């Protein structure tokens, strides 16, 4: 019963079924009437809410967090009540450790759970998440990006990345101007690059330095 209005009731759980009954033009539906305190009503509403199909994973995870922190539930108990595996609940709750800007990308639909899961615990999570969203990487590509070694000397370093047409054009322009071979590598994932010159004689290096205004 409603706490302040006579002969009025507050719907705590079952909103989806109630709306479905409305769409089916059912005027009478079975209901269970119970007396709940505000805290109990909030608890029941949370349990109902985390089972909604239209929740994103961050909202679902936050619902689990509130039930655990405010009402003493364990992940195992939630698994029994909600009917989802304990590992599912644990994996979702790990997403809450991501930076707020990364969580917002999931909330607004820019990224999925599969795309951000590899970012959990990563110090560059925000930068990587923005890059994944900008480049439209799928979950597997996102995992590969995060797993890429940071050591520039590694086999999968920036030097091994495929060069774009723009990079090759810059190399050709530099080689024509300086008269020596130019090698440019650019790691778009980390926004950093390297440029190196190759020469066979010291005279070539001296000529390059002169062209650069270094005497």
Residue 76 burial by Cβ neighbours in a 10 Å radius (0-12, 13-18, 19+)? exposed
CA distances to 51, 53, 59, 112 from 68, rounded to whole Å, are 16, 21, 14, 24
CA distances to 1, 204, 205, 207 from 215, rounded to whole Å, are 89, 13, 11, 9
DSSP label of 27: S
Q: State how far the Cα of 210 lies from the Cα of 205, in Å rounded to an integer.
A: 9
Angle at 128 between CA 60 and CA 98, to 5 degrees: 30
Q: Contact, 178 vs 197, CB < 8 A?
A: yes
Whether 15 is catalytic is yes
Give the residue ranges of DSSP H helices in 50-155: 57-71, 75-82, 86-94, 100-107, 113-116, 125-135, 139-147
How many other CB atoms are found less than 10 A from the CB of residue 63? 22
Catalytic residue among 10, 15, 40, 80: 15
Q: State how far the Cα of 116 lies from the Cα of 173, in Å rounded to an integer.
A: 39
Q: What is the largest CA-CA distance in the chain?
A: 98
User: Annotated active-site positions, please?
Assistant: 15
């Amino acid at each position: 019963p409603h706490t302040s209005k006579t002969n009025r009731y507050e719907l705590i759980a079952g909103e989806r079924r109630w709306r479905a009954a409305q769409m089916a033009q059912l005027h009478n539906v079975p209901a269970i009437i119970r007396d709940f305190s505000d805290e109990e009503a909030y608890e029941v509403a949370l349990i109902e809410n985390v089972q909604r199909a239209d929740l994103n994973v961050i909202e679902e995870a936050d619902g689990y967090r509130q039930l655990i922190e405010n009402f003493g539930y364990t992940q195992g108990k939630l698994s029994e009540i909600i009917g989802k595996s304990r590992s599912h609940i644990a994996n979702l709750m790990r997403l809450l450790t991501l930076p707020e800007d990364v969580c917002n990308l999931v909330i607004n639909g820019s990224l999925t759970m599969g795309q951000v899961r590899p970012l959990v615990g990563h110090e560059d999570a925000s930068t990587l998440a923005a890059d994944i969203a900008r480049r439209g990487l799928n979950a597997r590509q996102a995992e590969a990006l995060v797993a890429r070694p940071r050591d520039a000397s590694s086999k999968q370093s920036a030097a091994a990345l495929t060069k774009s047409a723009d990079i090759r054009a810059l190399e050709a322009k530099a080689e024509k101007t300086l008269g020596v071979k130019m090698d440019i590598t650019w790691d778009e994932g980390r926004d950093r690059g390297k440029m190196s010159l190759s020469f066979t004689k010291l005279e070539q290096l001296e000529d390059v330095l002169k062209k650069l205004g270094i005497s």
